[in-house]
Amino acid sequence: MCQFLFLFNSELGKSGAELSFRMANVSKCVSQQTTTSYHPSRPKLSLPSFSLAISPFLLSGRPPNQPKPLLIFISLLHSTIMDAAASPFETSEMLGTFLTSTPLLKEAWRLCSTANAMGAGAFVAEQVGVVGYMAFSGVQEMPLLLGRDLNCGLLVPLDPADHGLFAPLKYRYDGEEPVMVHSGALGLFLDYHAGPDFQTQIHSLLAETKSIVITGHSMGGSVACLSALWLLSYLKSISSPPSVLCIGFGSPFLGNESLSRAILREGWGGSFCNVVLTHDVMPRLFLDQSLVQTSIWRFLLNFWHMCMMSPSSMNIANLQLTEEDKAWLFSFVAANMEQLVQAGEGSGERSFWPFGNYLFCSDEGTICLDNAASANKMMHLMLRTGFPNCIIEEHLEYGQYVERLSGQSLNRSFMERDHSESSYEASLLMALNSSGTYRPVLIASMAKDCLKMVRRMGHSPNLNAANLAVRLSKVTPYQAEIEWYKACCDKSIEQRGYYDSFKQRGASKRESHIDLNRIMLAAFWDNVVYMMDRNELPLNFHRSSDWVIEESQLYKLLVEPLDIAEYYRLGMHLKKGHYISNGRERRYKIFDCWWTERVVTEKLGNNRRTRYASLTQDTHFWARVEEAKEWLDNIRSESDPTNLAFLRDRLHEFEAYAIKLIEDKEVSADVLAKNSSFILWLKEWRAMKPDQTGLTQPIPSWLTWRPIRFLVPSWVTWGPTRFLVRYLGIDLQRFDFRFCLELV
């Protein structure tokens, strides 16, 4: 299902009633704009242009001259019909028709045509209202396209020089293949990114617009995708960033399956739209050495580039290809697509794989798919309806299709044979008709199965979210037992606290049971993250479900200290390095982002505590203590003055940080336990370090607290016992009553 997150006007989303299928009511709002273009060999120039926008606020009755026009709002449509498994309709045709009814594709293609006409290495930047556009030329020169570099066509790591341009996409699960992209497309993007004109234009759009559309035709579409990935990575650290959408017209495959998974993991799948015509071979090409070294490819590429720069001079007679050459090319592409479809998911790091949404355009209409396997199969089936002579010209006909489809009505006429008692079957036949695959009987049957496959794939996101809530109720007792274990450790005679008791545990049945609970809870939350990565949960799941943030934060505060204890107990820091940098699980990092977002959004955390927290608010705290213990040990054996000064500075910083947490009462009782790792470390550090007078610093008063215990005979009657328990904080242990007072 189409999952566009491209929200041009957030205020429209305040009322779901503001969106209707009267989207065909489109008016032309013509306003003269200024186009900024760049070409490496030409001076900058300004061109007049005109924009086409949807009539603003169609249903709210606002006049077209309102300052905040409706440009596109697909995410609300998606939220209405995203539950495909429960829907009685097949929605790919509806979504495709809706997208083509907006001015989005038309504006994007207009700028692509302008960039193409400017030649190799050109790009165009333009602002239309509150939306910024950047289009890359499809005419690109690189060794791969000309077949002169044997290494240029290979898949390479996304950020081989580790510049941090795509930092969010670098994470991968254990055993998962690295994110890889086409080396030639990556080289083109890096050349653009290093240029001052690109940086100037993109930052200008960021400062002056609320939404950015990055687009390109042919290889320009691949550059646009990498530019969008870089921009999304860059904007992730910015609060209230603008929306980003990438539209590629006939662009070839870009990366491997790991790239597709990484994009879904970040929730960016809806930010990419790949427009593909029925028989265009370019979006079905891998651009590997088996093709680009042939004379057929060189002749074809030169013909395309010539026609892109001068569309009026397009003449198929200028193409130096025989009928046999065209037939070979058609068979080559069809065989590659068939191989990709048969390989399916998990085909390996060296195989190309689609990502984002695919908008398939035919003479009859459009359909939109966001499932990669279905997109592969549909590209293969639609190609099989063509013939060798049609695959060359279609790469140059996107403008004609965009112009024609944007004017089509949402209403489709059914043929007599299309009528069905089932609403789902009727909508399925409508989608087949729009894809142009309904005529050949064999292909129509396979295309129908392809569309059904999307509907069959697993439970719906909303149902998955409901099932998670049920499963949470089943693992909650594990968490309750860990809370009970913490309470027992806090009241233990050993006074080691929660963290150290678990770290120094022996072969106790109780601790083994708690460790098993820890593992079971980790499996539950890892599964939540895994489902989000695979797009099996609703968009913004952590925002829409109230229990997610609360329960994940409680789990993190309660269980991460146990994970840290286990990490250092097993000596993993000696093999992998300290926990914070090398051992922390990804789920905790995600939970941090969720909680930080909520704190910023709801302005939480401004109230000062009046009592110590039940759980230490910094879940890294014990990992920091372990690092501080190592620094303290290193001081004893270090003789170099520079290193000694560095270690002392680090220890001073941690001490100040810890004291601040204690003063703000952001720590729980286990931190201040008499024999906890932190208290023992602090005593040792305070005894070692000199103050400004050269004397050792005094121990803080809260380090000298001692519990005063009174033993109460077990024969005391229940009445006085109940009084002592209720009002004086006495606790029952082994038939003795211990009364604890803390000196303040």
For the stretch 482-527, pLDDT in tens is 999 999 998 888 888 889 999 998 888 898 999 999 999 999 999 9
- Residues 6 or more apart whose Cβ sits within 8 Å of residue 235: 241, 242, 244
So what's the pLDDT on residue 249? 96
- Single pTM value for the model: 0.66
Most confident of 64-73, 222-231, 454-463: 222-231
- Residues 6 or more apart whose Cβ sits within 8 Å of residue 57: 12, 18, 66, 69, 70
At residue 601 the predicted structure's pLDDT band, cuts being 50, 70 and 90, is: low
So what's the pLDDT on residue 459? 53
So what's the pLDDT on residue 10? 35
So what's the pLDDT on residue 455? 60
**Secondary structure (3-state) at 611:** coil
So what's the pLDDT on residue 603? 56
Stretch 540-547: mean pLDDT? 75
Stretch 46-71: mean pLDDT? 33
Stretch 218-229: mean pLDDT? 95
Which of 31-45, 246-260, 418-432, 493-507 comes out lowest in average pLDDT? 31-45
Q: Six-digit token pair at 389?
A: 């002579």
Per the DSSP assignment, residues forming a β-bridge with 369 are 358
For the chain, helix (H) and strand (E) counts, in that order, are 28, 16
Per the DSSP assignment, residues forming a β-bridge with 274 are 248, 358
Stretch 65-79: mean pLDDT? 40
DSSP classification of residue 178: P
The percent of residues above 90 in pLDDT, for the chain, comes to: 29
Stretch 31-59: mean pLDDT? 38
CA angle, 618 then 552 then 506, to 5°: 65
Burial class (CB in 10 A: 0-12, 13-18, 19+), 446: middle
**Secondary structure (3-state) at 413:** coil
> Looking at the predicted structure, is the pLDDT value of residue 264 above 70?
yes
At residue 92 the predicted structure's pLDDT band, cuts being 50, 70 and 90, is: low
So what's the pLDDT on residue 405? 80
So what's the pLDDT on residue 76? 42
- Residues 6 or more apart whose Cβ sits within 8 Å of residue 267: 5, 532, 539, 540
So what's the pLDDT on residue 414? 46
Return the biggest CA–CA distance within the chain: 110
So what's the pLDDT on residue 84? 42
Stretch 298-319: mean pLDDT? 83
Contact 262, 169 (CB under 8 A): yes
Q: What does the alpha-carbon distance between residue 268 and residue 535 come to, in Å, rounded to a whole number?
A: 10
| 87 against 181, higher pLDDT | 181
So what's the pLDDT on residue 17? 31
Which of 220-229, 370-379, 564-573 comes out lowest in average pLDDT? 370-379
> Looking at the predicted structure, is the pLDDT value of residue 94 above 80?
no
> Looking at the predicted structure, is the pLDDT value of residue 341 above 50?
yes
So what's the pLDDT on residue 175? 59
Phi-psi region of 726 (alpha: psi -120 to 50; beta: other; left: phi over 0): alpha
Q: What does the alpha-carbon distance between residue 521 and residue 525 come to, in Å, rounded to a whole number?
A: 6
- Residues 6 or more apart whose Cβ sits within 8 Å of residue 575: none
| 639 against 478, higher pLDDT | 478
Residues counted in the chain: 744
Stretch 566-583: mean pLDDT? 92
Q: What does the alpha-carbon distance between residue 34 and residue 151 come to, in Å, rounded to a whole number?
A: 41
Q: What does the alpha-carbon distance between residue 399 and residue 376 come to, in Å, rounded to a whole number?
A: 24
| 569 against 410, higher pLDDT | 569
The structural domains of the chain, ordered by start, are 33-47+97-410 (3.40.50.1820), 461-702 (no CATH), 708-741 (no CATH)
pLDDT digit string, tens, across residues 436-469: 777 776 788 888 888 777 664 545 788 888 889 8
The sheet carrying 736-741 orders its strands as: 708-712, 736-741, 731-733
Termini Cα distance of the chain: 62
Q: What does the alpha-carbon distance between residue 586 and residue 608 come to, in Å, rounded to a whole number?
A: 30
At residue 419 the predicted structure's pLDDT band, cuts being 50, 70 and 90, is: low
Instruction: Extract the runs of DSSP E, i.e. beta strands, from 120-256.
Output: 123-128, 131-136, 155-157, 180-182, 211-217, 243-249, 255-256
Helical spans, DSSP H, in 310-440:
323-343, 372-384, 390-393, 398-406, 423-435
Question: Can you say how many angstroms the Cα of residue 120 is from the centroid of all Cα atoms in its chain?
Answer: 32
Stretch 87-94: mean pLDDT? 58
Stretch 573-595: mean pLDDT? 89
Which sequence positions are flagged as catalytic?
Answer: 218, 280, 395
Q: Six-digit token pair at 709?
A: 């215990």
Q: Six-digit token pair at 313?
A: 């001079």
Per the DSSP assignment, residues forming a β-bridge with 276 are 360
Burial class (CB in 10 A: 0-12, 13-18, 19+), 692: exposed
- Residues 6 or more apart whose Cβ sits within 8 Å of residue 5: 75, 243, 267, 268, 270, 271, 539
Residue-by-residue DSSP string for 25-94: -------EEEEEEEBTTB---EEEEE---PPSSTTTT--TT-SS----BHHHHHHHH--TTT-SS--HHH
Measured from the Cβ of residue 595, the count of other Cβ atoms closer than 10 Å reads: 19
- Residues 6 or more apart whose Cβ sits within 8 Å of residue 511: 502, 505
So what's the pLDDT on residue 607? 63
Residue-by-residue DSSP string for 504-553: T--S-HHHHHHHHHHHHHHHHHHHHHHHHHTT-S-TTHHHH-HHHHHHHH
| 343 against 149, higher pLDDT | 343
The percent of residues above 70 in pLDDT, for the chain, comes to: 71
- Residues 6 or more apart whose Cβ sits within 8 Å of residue 427: 89, 90, 91, 93, 94
So what's the pLDDT on residue 15? 34
Which of 606-610, 641-645, 679-683, 722-726 comes out lowest in average pLDDT? 722-726
Q: Six-digit token pair at 661?
A: 């947490």
Q: Six-digit token pair at 260?
A: 């597709």
Q: What does the alpha-carbon distance between residue 564 and residue 562 come to, in Å, rounded to a whole number?
A: 5
Stretch 697-713: mean pLDDT? 46
At residue 212 the predicted structure's pLDDT band, cuts being 50, 70 and 90, is: very high
Which of 36-40, 306-310, 643-647 comes out lowest in average pLDDT? 36-40
